[in-house]
Chain A
């Protein structure tokens, strides 16, 4: 497939928003892949963490929206502590989630969780899940 790279895409509102919310310097990532190599949830991801940040660098908002990766992230921060360039990928993941969530789209729907599950789970599971995945 082809993608368009142009000043429009590279300095789009999407990219600027990611930079603003995350506070990270996107060009610092030199795509070494160490984040993907150590990510504990990567086994369940369609796109790898380093691919996500690459797509952001290239302004490809749609590809990211189609992927489930940012919703599979557990915010464990392994990527952040190991990145040789000091890029905090977990913040970029959060920014990407927030761009969707702030449009009032939830990833997790609290009302659809079964009663049994709610009783079983410790509160911190529910609170953190809702904080990460709901508007």
Chain B
């Protein structure tokens, strides 16, 4: 450029610049042909002067020195282009921001000189015409999103309304009544929602989220994730037959923790879309922890609804022995139960026993759907491992044969576990099912005697060895060979197989496992006067089930911890006593347990006439030839497949692990069956087996706001009733107790996959295998109306976490006439009617130290509204509001507050609250009334906290996907807070409602229409004209 004109503005707002000096200096710059100073360049006369100068001086470049280009650049550009120049022939340099800095003149000169050079270097541009995609995307289906969508749609353009919850309506639809009109929001919002649903221009994508965005104004390309609802919405009619049968209760966000919904649900009656959705977040910890993956959550949920038969059917899908396991299982499910982190785990095992007992007449489904197979399979051992393997193989169509050495099937269940824990008829019936299905059990057949391993190798395709461990470990102390010393498993065998078992008067059992406890409790029943257990570690290390240890103690068994026998004393060839030594715990050994170390000189003697060592067992193994064994005669196997070192031979249960539990043996049985089936088919044994056996669920569950409740106490026989007999000690829970206990379940993942909804749905709309889908859309404008959330109460630590200390949305649900309590005001902890309700303002807001510094804007109004509604509902109740200020800036707001004070006697106390905590039945509130200068303590029944309004969860992530800025608090940032509150920092993306900052419904709706008009403005053009550098 040869002829640049420099125009210097010196209006009153510009710093004082020596225009003569500047003109002189700048005029010398090569390329500068004209320098002039004008007052008020930005108004019409000033602009005219510039245009005239361009023409008269034949300028080919214009440099304007003024304030920030953000303010007047558009105006200047318009002026110079109308004078015949092009966009790139103009530049604006800001010399005003230097206001106050010394030497303004010199700085102005420097700024202008470098701006001139920049201007000379600027490249010509061309105008590019971009067609505008005249379709809008509205993100967020609350009242703002709905209004914006309707306005744009009514304006004649297509709108895609994306909402992440299953229905549009936002928070407004959760409210009880809105201030100051006390309109019912369901009544005023649903017409708009219906309109949205029926509008030909609006496509509602509910239960969906924006996944990614690219492009720019007029041409955005958006990928939307349609979340799996597990319900086909094309088929679903919203009839809610499914919700009637779903047994699961979970704390759906819509009810804000005040009430539960079923896992398959419609959020509320007027939902749009009016469709069901299944909340399913993963696998329940109990179900994952069970080595057989019995659907524990499922059957507990069914029990909580009194549906025992369905529950039993569900158990039997994975476990053929519910009666047995419901009595003796070591319940890994209970150890994983998340409720245990709050109070105590659910009594899942007891509940299994309940349905097994209540529905014991219910027929077991013996049908085999798989085609019958030829191959023969041998199973050695009719214990839980062998029986389970046989059951699984039979279901696959094979016909396995079990070889059992004893005259009875059952293994350790029969031999080891006494009748008072596991009645024989229950066991016989369940084992009998295996035979009824067509499995042959050859009793009295010992491998190595009646038949050899080679015979089996010859006649059977595969062999599963599950013979357990029946050889008692020896104490290795003098006197062990005496007649009065009977080893644990031999003793139990005698007792449990109905042989004559005698006990002495004073019996000592050595050991701490379940065999030891079983032996002790049998000895008690057989008439021993004193029963001792000697265990070498402390109670915390005892491997026996804690329940068993407690019952043994109740029955009078004395347990000596930290002691071990040194020798067994005899008198006349009979056992007369046992010398023991005290131990102390040293460093951990390889098992991780602390090694017991004898304390020198601490020997003591107990008088006993019978000793039962029960310190471990090993397998009573036949000759296995070359097959690899570990020490103790247990099999070495591949842990993933149970394949032993010889192909086609598998081993599982105690014979591999050493003494272990029934459920672990059964899991081994199933694993072996899967391996054998694959082996026979010639398939790979290892692929896809990670889920077998006990797993840890990664599910996270919030325990916030859930009241503690005691675990059910299982009734047992009294001591008198137990004496000298083997009647079952633990009694079955009553129906009511079972339902009550099952109701404690937290429903960790939501849906339990019991599949009853599938059966109930008449249009077959349910599909549990659904996955998230993605849809791509092109839009020209985006309106962000993602709404708000409330600061979690736990952030304000001086207010206790308690079910009766609730926030605004929770109280709205309680007050709402169509809410979970039908508008009857009941407090969450005990459903009693609260007579003293305290409302606390400014919780986490106006609190720069611990919370957020800003004012949350709507709380003053909604608290007084709630107080009023509460008083209308509970006439003899009292409402108190602690406040700092009462902010009533909207139309009718001040009058509304006065009405509450004068007509409904709401008492305002001016002061913030320092502490809120429970004391017995009441919630104590410590506040102040600064107007009278008194500290105020109120004993309330219910406390409502007005927690600060914050940006909705996920807002920051969404903003980053859109490329728009958020402010320091996470709200969407407007490009100018005073003049352009509806525009984000990216052109074409507009803001509406509480996504931009706290505000009430009238303001949200107004903004929504405003944002819509911005979109319509964009769409009113045919093309977007953009300046791009000409290449």
Question: Does B567 have its Cβ within 8 Å of any Cβ on chain A?
Answer: no
CB neighbours (8 Å) of B884 from chain A are 30, 32-33
Would you give the 0/1 interface string for B138-155, flagging 1 where the beta carbon is closer than 8 Å to chain A?
A: 000000000000000000
Would you give the 0/1 interface string for A15-54, flagging 1 where the beta carbon is closer than 8 Å to chain B?
A: 0000000000000001111111111001100011011000
Question: Does A11 have its Cβ within 8 Å of any Cβ on chain B?
Answer: no
Q: Are A86 and B928 in contact (CB under 8 A)?
A: no
Would you give the 0/1 interface string for A42-76, flagging 1 where the beta carbon is closer than 8 Å to chain B?
A: 11000110110000000000000000000000000
CB neighbours (8 Å) of B910 from chain A are 33
Question: Does A110 have its Cβ within 8 Å of any Cβ on chain B?
Answer: no
Q: Which of B851, B928, B929, B936 touches A34 (beta carbons < 8 Å)?
A: B928
From B527-535, B759-767, B841-849, B886-894, the one touching the partner chain is: B841-849
Given contacts A84-B912, A85-B848, A86-B849, contact A37 B926 (CB under 8 A): yes
Question: Does B540 have its Cβ within 8 Å of any Cβ on chain A?
Answer: no
Across the two chains, which residue of chain A brings its CB closest to B925? A37
How close is B914's CB to chain A, nearest CB, in angstroms? 3
Question: Does B541 have its Cβ within 8 Å of any Cβ on chain A?
Answer: no
Given contacts A33-B929, A48-B933, A50-B930, contact A38 B847 (CB under 8 A): no
Question: Does B704 have its Cβ within 8 Å of any Cβ on chain A?
Answer: no
Q: Are B930 and A51 in contact (CB under 8 A)?
A: yes
Given contacts A39-B935, A48-B935, A82-B914, contact A33 B849 (CB under 8 A): no
With most chain A CB atoms within 10 A of its CB, the pick from B847, B851, B926, B930 is: B930
9 tightest Cβ-Cβ pairs between the two chains A and B: A38-B914, A33-B911, A33-B928, A37-B914, A84-B847, A34-B912, A32-B912, A37-B928, A33-B930
Given contacts A30-B884, A43-B935, A84-B912, contact A36 B930 (CB under 8 A): yes
The CA of A33 and the CA of B912, in the complex, are separated in Å by 5
The CA of A34 and the CA of B799, in the complex, are separated in Å by 13
Across the two chains, which residue of chain B brings its CB closest to A48? B933
How close is B519's CB to chain A, nearest CB, in angstroms? 58
Across the two chains, which residue of chain A brings its CB closest to B913? A37
Q: List 24 A-B contacts (CB under 8 A).
A: A31-B930, A32-B911, A33-B911, A35-B914, A36-B928, A36-B930, A37-B912, A37-B913, A37-B914, A37-B927, A37-B935, A37-B936, A38-B798, A38-B926, A39-B935, A42-B935, A48-B928, A48-B934, A50-B930, A82-B914, A84-B848, A84-B851, A84-B912, A85-B848
Q: Are B936 and A84 in contact (CB under 8 A)?
A: no
The CA of A78 and the CA of B915, in the complex, are separated in Å by 11
Would you give the 0/1 interface string for B829-851, flagging 1 where the beta carbon is closer than 8 Å to chain A?
A: 00000000000001000111111
How close is B917's CB to chain A, nearest CB, in angstroms? 12
Q: Are B935 and A83 in contact (CB under 8 A)?
A: no
CB neighbours (8 Å) of A42 from chain B are 935
How close is B215's CB to chain A, nearest CB, in angstroms? 44
CB neighbours (8 Å) of A36 from chain B are 911, 928, 930, 935
**Seed contacts A37-B911, A38-B926; 6 additional CB < 8 Å A-B pairs:** A33-B910, A37-B915, A50-B911, A50-B928, A84-B848, A84-B851
CB neighbours (8 Å) of B929 from chain A are 33
How close is B115's CB to chain A, nearest CB, in angstroms? 43
How close is A92's CB to chain B, nearest CB, in angstroms? 16
With most chain B CB atoms within 10 A of its CB, the pick from A31, A37, A38, A47 is: A37
The CA of A83 and the CA of B847, in the complex, are separated in Å by 8
CB neighbours (8 Å) of A39 from chain B are 914, 935
Would you give the 0/1 interface string for B846-875, flagging 1 where the beta carbon is closer than 8 Å to chain A?
A: 111111000000000000000000000000
How close is A49's CB to chain B, nearest CB, in angstroms? 9
Given contacts A33-B910, A34-B912, contact A84 B850 (CB under 8 A): yes
CB neighbours (8 Å) of A31 from chain B are 930
How close is A122's CB to chain B, nearest CB, in angstroms? 28
The CA of A64 and the CA of B264, in the complex, are separated in Å by 65
Across the two chains, which residue of chain A brings its CB closest to B883? A32
CB neighbours (8 Å) of A35 from chain B are 914
How close is A3's CB to chain B, nearest CB, in angstroms? 15
The CA of A48 and the CA of B933, in the complex, are separated in Å by 6
Across the two chains, which residue of chain B brings its CB closest to A34? B912
Across the two chains, which residue of chain A brings its CB closest to B930? A33
With most chain A CB atoms within 10 A of its CB, the pick from B842, B846, B911, B927 is: B911
How close is A37's CB to chain B, nearest CB, in angstroms? 4
Q: Are B848 and A86 in contact (CB under 8 A)?
A: yes
With most chain B CB atoms within 10 A of its CB, the pick from A78, A83, A84 is: A84
How close is B842's CB to chain A, nearest CB, in angstroms? 8
CB neighbours (8 Å) of B912 from chain A are 32-34, 37, 84
CB neighbours (8 Å) of A47 from chain B are 933
With most chain A CB atoms within 10 A of its CB, the pick from B910, B911, B914 is: B914
Q: Are A33 and B927 in contact (CB under 8 A)?
A: yes
The CA of A83 and the CA of B927, in the complex, are separated in Å by 13
The CA of A125 and the CA of B936, in the complex, are separated in Å by 30
Tell me the residues in window 908-954 of chain B with beta carbons closer than 8 Å to chain A beta carbons.
910-915, 926-930, 933-936
CB neighbours (8 Å) of B934 from chain A are 48
Q: Which of B847, B915, B933 touches A51 (beta carbons < 8 Å)?
A: B933
CB neighbours (8 Å) of A86 from chain B are 848-849
Given contacts A83-B849, A86-B848, contact A34 B935 (CB under 8 A): no
Given contacts A82-B798, A84-B846, A84-B849, contact A34 B913 (CB under 8 A): yes
Across the two chains, which residue of chain B brings its CB closest to A46? B933
